[in-house]
């Protein structure tokens, strides 16, 4: 049954604009020889109307459009803990530009100045009530568009903690409303922890959303603009794909120079991937870099908006690092399997000059970005042009139940705003009346690269295995910490094939937080809840992720959907 908090909130459910019907997600089409309906993805390109053929030259275009908030006020962090308290701390009522009369550059009062209302941008990713105090670097919507024959697919990476599927649909609708001819738009969040709350749970309090609807509308518009600009720049492209092992340059330290797995078993996807497109002159159109780690290097007390190490990575790839020239064009960072949880926190980064960087600092984020950029450049240098690359896409919607009682409560009070389905909104929530969300999955193939979107933070072992201890890649961590009071039951871990084993192409990418953010996706064998306060408290051992997971059915449901979309054939 739903705990007391959710029971108290049940009357609110009937007041919410939540649907209990069917979106068509998971529908079947056609029939097999027995007359049984045969499953088919919602969209198949080439093949479906409007994207019938991929015959022709592959083209690419790319663009970057800022999504940095343009209106917010700053405050005084009196106790220097990164958390705003209305009772003990003051904000500067200086309006959108954060300039008051007497400040250098002030010319006149602007919007919100002197109105007594704190116009805050709540930073997402750690605790509640962490308003931003300024901007360290721009946040971006970075788009790359691939086109071949009648098939055209856009991939947009947002420098945000996450972006719900319902809001992905808004971006697709905005692209269509502009008259932009695109068959499908994939929306990815880099999951950086130093930008605006776009999900809801990092507002001024536990039951108050941190989402600003005006900012979300701004992101929708700017993302659509990025797609439009990328489409306008489409040109015949030569494609280069590659990958490097990020662990080999650091000796026994290995993976621990860039990333740490904070949950047993330690499983690291060591690869950094690149997809590089050039025009007829050899100039860079786009460099897409795929790697898995939480962009949270500067930690929980940072109060400046930043895309963290992704900012430095992209800047160095485009403009050069050390005496090594950059590639120019537009660099797009795609995050991967960050569940587990993959983090740079607690990592000492040794740069290429042998200098150590630790702590939650921008200097460390810079050093990490430099290292990753150099590896990305190595990957591009080591790649060869793809021979006759082809473009294809499969896309489908499906349902996942909301089993997490705390998440149910956050839906009820409006902290999370997205549609719920397949339940009775007038009855109490229990195991027989459980709401579901609808989400999506895409399988994109671009030449030798295959990309599978996953709607949350997938544990790497679900994608690559590593249950034999072979993917630790460092002597600083053990596969399972001998001091873990509740170690995972490895003997119960699943055998392969794992998701990447099932993917086609020479290079298999997981696009984490692809088209959605539903929380951590944990292998079922090690999904453990607290006996008396599930989803709120953690049992012994490494089980934080369950408190930020939609429920134990999510990972099996995502795997099931992945297998059928990967193995489907016309």
Does residue 24 register a pLDDT over 90? no
pLDDT at 20: 42
185 vs 170: CA distance, rounded Å: 11
Residues 84-136 pLDDT 10s: 999 899 999 999 999 999 999 999 999 999 999 999 999 999 999 999 999 99
**Listed residue (562, 569, 455, 440) closest to 502, CA to CA:** 562
Does residue 14 register a pLDDT over 70? no
**Listed residue (392, 508, 394, 385) closest to 148, CA to CA:** 392
**Listed residue (307, 325, 141, 313) closest to 215, CA to CA:** 141
Length of the chain: 570
DSSP 8-state secondary structure symbol assigned to residue 414: T
The percentage of residues in the chain with a pLDDT greater than 70, rounded to a whole number, is 94
Other Cβ atoms less than 10 A from the Cβ of 462: the count is 25
For every residue of 219-247, DSSP letters joined together read HHHHHHHHHHHHHHT-EE-EEEEEEEETT
pLDDT at 570: 84
Residues 559-569 pLDDT 10s: 999 999 999 99
For residues 474, 454, 373, 269, the Cα torsion angle rounded to the nearest 10 degrees is: 20
3-state secondary structure of 313: helix
| Lowest-confidence segment of 19-33, 43-57, 395-409, 448-462 by average pLDDT | 19-33
3-state secondary structure of 158: strand
CB 306 within 8 A of CB 136: yes
Q: Kindly state the helix (H) or strand (E) to which residue 364 belongs, with its residue range.
A: helix 362-381
Angle value at C-alpha 505, between 503 and 507, nearest 5 degrees: 90
Residues 461-503 pLDDT 10s: 999 999 999 999 999 999 999 999 999 999 999 999 999 999 9
pLDDT at 9: 35
Residues 532-551 pLDDT 10s: 999 999 999 999 999 999 99
**Listed residue (397, 332, 391, 396) closest to 156, CA to CA:** 332
HSE (side-chain half, CA atoms, 13 Å) at 313: 29
| Lowest-confidence segment of 26-40, 164-178, 542-556 by average pLDDT | 26-40
State the pTM of this model: 0.94
Residue 245 CA, distance from chain mean position: 22
Does residue 19 register a pLDDT over 90? no
């Amino acid at each position: 049954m739903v705990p007391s908090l959710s029971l108290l909130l049940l009357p609110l459910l009937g007041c919410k604009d939540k649907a209990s019907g069917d979106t068509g997600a998971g529908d079947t089409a056609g029939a097999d020889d027995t007359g049984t309906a045969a499953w088919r993805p919602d969209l198949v390109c080439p093949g479906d109307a409007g994207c019938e053929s991929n015959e022709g030259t592959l083209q690419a275009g790319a663009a970057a459009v800022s999504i940095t908030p343009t209106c917010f006020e700053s405050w005084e962090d009196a106790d220097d803990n990164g958390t705003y308290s209305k009772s003990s701390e003051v904000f500067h009522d200086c309006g959108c530009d954060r300039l008051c009369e007497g400040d250098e550059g002030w010319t006149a009062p602007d919007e919100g100045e002197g109105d007594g209302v704190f116009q805050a941008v709540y930073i997402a990713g750690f605790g509640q009530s962490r308003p931003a105090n300024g901007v360290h670097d721009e946040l971006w919507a970075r788009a790359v568009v691939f086109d071949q024959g009648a098939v055209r697919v856009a991939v947009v990476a947002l420098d945000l903690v996450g972006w719900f599927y319902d809001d992905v649909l808004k971006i697709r609708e905005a692209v269509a409303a502009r008259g932009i001819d695109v068959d499908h738009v994939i929306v990815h969040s880099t999951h950086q922890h130093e930008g605006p709350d776009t999900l809801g749970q990092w507002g001024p309090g536990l039951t108050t959303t941190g989402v600003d609807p005006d900012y979300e509308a701004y992101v929708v518009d700017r993302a659509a603009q990025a797609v439009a600009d990328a489409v306008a720049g489409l040109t015949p492209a030569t494609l280069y794909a590659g990958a490097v092992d990020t662990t080999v340059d650091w000796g026994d330290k290995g993976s621990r120079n860039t990333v740490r797995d904070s949950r047993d078993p330690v499983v690291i996807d060591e690869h950094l991937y690149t997809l590089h497109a050039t025009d007829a002159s050899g100039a860079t159109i786009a460099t897409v870099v795929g790697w898995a780690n939480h962009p949270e290097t500067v930690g929980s007390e940072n109060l400046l908006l930043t895309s963290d190490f992704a900012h430095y990575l992209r800047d160095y790839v485009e403009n050069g690092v050390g005496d090594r020239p950059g590639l120019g064009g537009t660099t797009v960072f795609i995050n991967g399997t960050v569940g587990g949880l993959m983090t740079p926190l607690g990592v000492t980064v040794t740069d290429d000059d042998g200098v150590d960087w630790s702590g939650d600092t921008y200097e460390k984020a810079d050093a990490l970005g430099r290292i990753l950029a150099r590896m990305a450049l190595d990957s591009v240098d080591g790649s060869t042009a793809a021979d006759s690359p082809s473009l294809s896409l499969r896309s489908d919607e499906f349902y996942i139940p909301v089993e997490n009682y705390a998440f149910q409560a956050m839906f009820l009070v409006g902290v999370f705003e997205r549609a719920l389905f397949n339940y009775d909104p007038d009855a109490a929530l229990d195991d027989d009346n459980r709401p579901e969300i609808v989400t999506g999955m895409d399988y994109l193939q671009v030449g030798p690269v295959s990309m599978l979107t996953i709607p949350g933070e997938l544990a790497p072992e679900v994608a690559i295995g590593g249950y034999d201890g072979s993917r630790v890649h460092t002597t600083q961590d053990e596969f399972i910490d001998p001091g873990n009071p509740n170690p995972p039951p490895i003997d119960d871990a699943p055998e392969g094939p794992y998701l990447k084993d099932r993917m086609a192409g020479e290079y298999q990418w997981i696009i984490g937080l692809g088209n959605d953010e539903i929380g951590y996706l944990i292998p079922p064998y090690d999904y453990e809840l607290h006996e008396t306060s599930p989803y709120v408290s953690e049992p012994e051992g490494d089980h934080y992720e369950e408190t930020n997971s939609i429920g134990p059915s999510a990972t099996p449901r995502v795997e099931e959907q992945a297998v059928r979309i990967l193995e489907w054939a016309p």
